[in-house]
Amino acid sequence: MNDTSAMPTAFAELSRKIADRTALVGIIGLGYVGLPLINAFTRAGFRCIGYDVDPAKVETLKSGRSYIKHIGSSVIADWIARDLFQPTADMSRLGEADALLICVPTPLNASRDPDLEYVESTARSIAAALRPGQLVVLESTTYPTTTRDVVVPILAENSGRLKSGTDFFVAYSPEREDPGNPDFSAAGIPKVVGGIDEVSCDLACQLYAHAIVKVIRVGSAEIAEACKILENTYRAVNIALVNELKMLFDRMGIDIWQVVDAAKTKPFGFQAFYPGPGLGGHCIPIDPFYLSWLARLQGMTTRFIELAGEVNASMPRYVISRLTEFLNDLGKPIRGTRICLLGMAYKKDVDDPRESPSFELMELLLARGAVLTYNDPHIPSLPKMRHYDVPEMNSSALTADYLQSQDCVLIATDHSDYDYDFIVRNSRMVLDTRNATKHVTEGRERIYRA
C-alpha cells in the first residue's frame, strides 16, 4: 500500500470515503454479476446505486422484485426498504457514485472476435459524467490490455482534462460468479485486483477488502485480465478432453462417468471434469476465443484452444446423432417423434439460459421435424436468444400423463428439483446426457446415454 499522505487530494478523499464506508458504490449492469455484487457491498455497510439500460429491469427492482433466482425478492425489497440500493436507467447519474464497477456483457461477434460494444458504450457514458475522485473498475471478462487500451483512453478523451491516476482511478477485477453453487457467494470468492497504476490498485483493493473474503493484488490490470481468461480456458480444455473421451468410450461400451469417478479417487494430479451436451454460460464457451483472437494479433495460433472449442461445440450434434441411432433401433425416425427437452438452463439449479446447449439441441430437433416441448422449473417461458430463433413456448407440467405421452425425454440439464425415479418410471425412453439417472433402479432398460 502506498503512503496516502503524499497522494493527490482526489485519492485521499476517496480513500477516506472507502475507509468509513460512506463511498457510494455504483454497479453498471444489474444481472447475474451485478446483483450479487450489490448484495456483497450492502452487507458490508455500503450504499449502492445500480445502473441498467433496460428500464423493465429497473422498474422490477424498484418494486422490490428479483429476476434472478439466487438473489431473492425479499433481499431486493430489504435493500430498497433500508435505502441501501437505488436502481436507475438514467446514465447521467453516473457521476453520483464514488466507485463504478462495470458488469456488462462481452460476447463474441459472428466471426468469433471480441465484441466490446457494451464495454465501450459504458465507458463513454461514464466519461460524460466523470468527475475527480471516482474509481472505475471493469469486471467484465475480456482479453488482456482491454482496460488500459480501450477503457482508459475513452475515459481520458471524453472527460476533458481529467487524468488517470491523478483525478480518476482505473482497475480491473474479474468477476468469479458461480450461479447455483450454494457454497460460494460473491462475498466468499477471493477477488483478483490489478490496477492501471499503483494508486488505482490501492483504491480498488481497499474497496473490495470491505466486501470480499480475500483480495489478491496482482502487478497490473493485464495480469488480472489474463488470470480470468486462464481460469475459463483451463475448464474449457479439460471439459473438451472428457467430452472427446466420452465419444471414444461410447464406441467401446465403457461408461465415462464410472471412469471419471474412478480417476478422481487419486488424491493428487487429477481434477474431475464431466461430459455433457455442450458448454453453456457466459464464460466458458466464449472466453477462450478471446485468447485465440489475441494470439492471432500477435501472429500466433492457439491450436489447443481452437481444438477444445471444436470438440465442445460438436457435442449437441453428437447427442442428436446418438438419439437418432437409439430411435432407429426402436424403428422410429426423429420426424414426428414427441420429445421433451428436460432443462433449458445452462447448468443445474439456475435460471440462467445464456449460451445453453439446450437451445442448439432444440434447434437441431425442430429442424429434423421433432414434435418438441420442454420443462424447466427455473425457466417458465423461453426467452429470446441472440443466436437462436426461439419459438414461443412455455414449460410443460411434468405430470405422469405428460411424460407418458412423450416418445423420448432428453435430459439436458440435471436440475436437483427433478424426481428422476418418477421421470424414468413414467417415460417410454430417457436419453440422459448428464448421468442424472445414475441412482435410478426401476426401468433402467429405458435409459440411454449420450
The per-residue pLDDT for range 314-367, each reduced to its tens digit, is: 999 999 999 999 999 999 999 999 999 999 999 999 998 988 999 999 999 999
Strands in 320-437 per DSSP E: 338-342, 371-375, 408-411, 430-432
C-alpha to C-alpha distances, 342 to 404, 426, 450, nearest whole angstrom: 14, 14, 14
276 close to 357: Cβ distance less than 8 angstroms: yes
Look up the CATH superfamily of 314-449.
Answer: NAD(P)-binding Rossmann-like Domain (3.40.50.720)
With 0-12 / 13-18 / 19 or more C-beta atoms within 10 angstroms meaning exposed / middle / buried, residue 169 is: buried
pLDDT at 291 over 70: yes
Asked if 48 is an active-site residue, the reply is: no
Q: In this predicted structure, what is the pLDDT of residue 225?
A: 96
Q: In this predicted structure, what is the pLDDT of residue 188?
A: 87
Confidence of residue 417 (pLDDT cuts 50, 70, 90): very high
Cell digits of residue 177: 460468479
Which among 103, 205, 227, 283 is annotated as catalytic? Answer: 283
Q: What is the mean pLDDT of the chain?
A: 92
Q: In this predicted structure, what is the pLDDT of residue 301?
A: 84
pLDDT at 16 over 70: yes
What is the average pLDDT across 39-62? Answer: 96
Of residues 113 and 382, the one with the higher pLDDT is 382
pLDDT at 6 over 70: no
Residue 71 in 3-state DSSP?
A: strand
Q: In this predicted structure, what is the pLDDT of residue 163?
A: 92
Confidence of residue 54 (pLDDT cuts 50, 70, 90): very high
Q: In this predicted structure, what is the pLDDT of residue 43?
A: 96
Q: In this predicted structure, what is the pLDDT of residue 296?
A: 85
Contacts of 416 (CB under 8 A, 6+ apart): 348, 349
Confidence of residue 159 (pLDDT cuts 50, 70, 90): low
Q: In this predicted structure, what is the pLDDT of residue 193?
A: 98
Of residues 6 and 317, the one with the higher pLDDT is 317
User: What ranges do the domains of the chain cover?
Assistant: 4-219, 314-449
88 close to 58: Cβ distance less than 8 angstroms: yes
Confidence of residue 252 (pLDDT cuts 50, 70, 90): very high
Backbone dihedral angles phi then psi of residue 149, each to the nearest 5 degrees: -95, -15
pLDDT at 108 over 90: no
Confidence of residue 282 (pLDDT cuts 50, 70, 90): low
Q: In this predicted structure, what is the pLDDT of residue 90?
A: 97
Q: Do the domains spanning 4-219 and 314-449 agree at the CATH topology level?
A: yes
Least confident of 186-195, 217-226, 386-395: 386-395
pLDDT at 226 over 80: yes
Q: How far apart are CA 317 and CA 146, in angstroms?
A: 34
Q: In this predicted structure, what is the pLDDT of residue 180?
A: 67
Return the CATH number of the domain spanning residue range 4-219. Answer: 3.40.50.720
41, containing H or E segment: helix 34-43
Confidence of residue 380 (pLDDT cuts 50, 70, 90): very high
Confidence of residue 1 (pLDDT cuts 50, 70, 90): very low
